[in-house]
Every structure is written in structure tokens, then in C-alpha cells.
A and B are shown apart, each in its own frame.
Chain A
Amino acid sequence: QKEVEQNSGPLSVPEGAIASLNCTYSDRGSQSFFWYRQYSGKSPELIMFIYSNGDKEDGRFTAQLNKASQYVSLLIRDSQPSDSATYLCAVNTSGRGGSNYKLTFGKGTLLTVNP
């Protein structure tokens, strides 16, 4: 069974610090990796995606991918209280046809940024 694992947290960091969120996945055929932010009671919002090994930066966010280790992470620099949310890691499943369009989600990591 294809799985995506995240530390459920809560992860608590002070304002201005770097928050590091981690995710591992079991399907070696996975090609695309996503980070979504979900505020309580709201729907997931895409932060960024990555599909090549290495780092991808977008503003205060950096996604890191290591396919050999089946590991993807999200770094949030200069964390703000407004970053407090659950962060969902999602992995594109491998497969033919329609199954190639499915994502497997982790349960999410709750991040709290303290003022």
C-alpha cells in the first residue's frame, strides 16, 4: 500500500524562526510532490510542488526533494503567526491512465508559530 508519513506534531516554533516539516513516502515511482497548507475548518491551499531532486524556493518557502531517500521537506523561513496551520504532504501516485492523477496525502503536521 502506498503511504505518505508525516510527524503529526504539533511543531511549535517562535516567530521569525525556521520551521522544518518532513515527509517520507513509500512509492518509488512517485513523480510529483506537493505541500498544501490547511487552516482549521478550511480547504487545502497549494503552497508549492516539486518534481526534481534538490531544492525549490518560493519566497519564504523552500521544498527539498531526495528521491533516493524517498524524502521531501518544507522549510518556512521567518515564520509568522499566520503560518500556523496544518501542512499536508501529498505525493502523486504512479500508475497507468487515471491512477496517475491521484494524490496520496499524509495526515499533516500541525505547525504553531508563537509571537
Chain B
Amino acid sequence: DAMVIQNPRYQVTQFGKPVTLSCSQTLNHNVMYWYQQKSSQAPKLLFHYYDKDFNNEADTPDNFQSRRPNTSFCFLDIRSPGLGDAAMYLCATSPRQGLARVQYFGPGTRLTVT
């Protein structure tokens, strides 16, 4: 089945220790997104790729970086995690065609910072 896969599902890191989260998709979608979601809050868009074009949200901290080496994979790098970065990180994809611009989410990675 075509899907969006995120690894790992749970990640524990220490304060200030770099961490990388990964996302892969078999949907062959052109657009990929990274969201941060904290408890009882709306998903917050960090950045998205339209093909290889990188789009950073204005309020995304510099501590967060992303890479998309090919259509299928996208990575989220947190260079120096702080306690406030503990959250669920969601990857989503969307096809370029179609009026609806539907986004399909992966299962998420729960990040804990100790």
C-alpha cells in the first residue's frame, strides 16, 4: 500500500544533542511537509518542499533544518534540541495536481528531550 512512513516513531534525545527524523513516501507526491504539534494545539507548519524548492515558514527557528535528497525522502534535523522542542513531529505529502491539495500524514515521531 502506498503510504507515508516516519522513523523512528519515538525518539528520546538529550538537551542540545542533535537529532534527525526521517520521512519516506511511496505516493510519489511532489510536495512534502514537516509539522510540529504540541499537546492540544494545531499542527504548526515548519517548512515544506515543492519538488526541490524549499519553503521555510517565517517563524520556524533556525535550530530546525530540513533536507530532501530525492522525491521519496525528507529529513528534519534539530541541531540543538531544547526542552521546548519536545513534541510530535508530523510529515505529510500532497500531490501537485488536483484542486483539493489534500495532505496525507505519516504516523508521526514523538520526540522527548531530557
Contact = CB atoms under 8 A, between A and B. Distances in A.
Interface residues of A, number: 27
A59 to B, nearest CB: 18
Contacts of A42: 107-108
B101 A103 contact: yes
Nearest to A52: B99
A62 B27 CA distance: 27
B20 interface: no
Interface string B28-67: 0001000000001111010010100101000000000000
B42 A88 contact: yes
B43 A44 contact: yes
Interface string B80-114: 00000000101000100001111111111010000
Contacts of B106: 43
Interface residues of B, number: 24
Contacts of B105: 36, 43-45
A67 interface: no
Contacts of A107: 40-42
B94 A31 contact: no
B42 A101 contact: no
B45 A102 contact: yes
B38 to A, nearest CB: 11
8 nearest A-B pairs in the assembled complex, by CB-CB distance: A105-B42, A43-B108, A43-B105, A98-B50, A98-B55, A107-B42, A32-B100, A92-B101
Interface of B: 31, 40-43, 45, 48, 50, 53, 55, 88, 90, 94, 99-108, 110
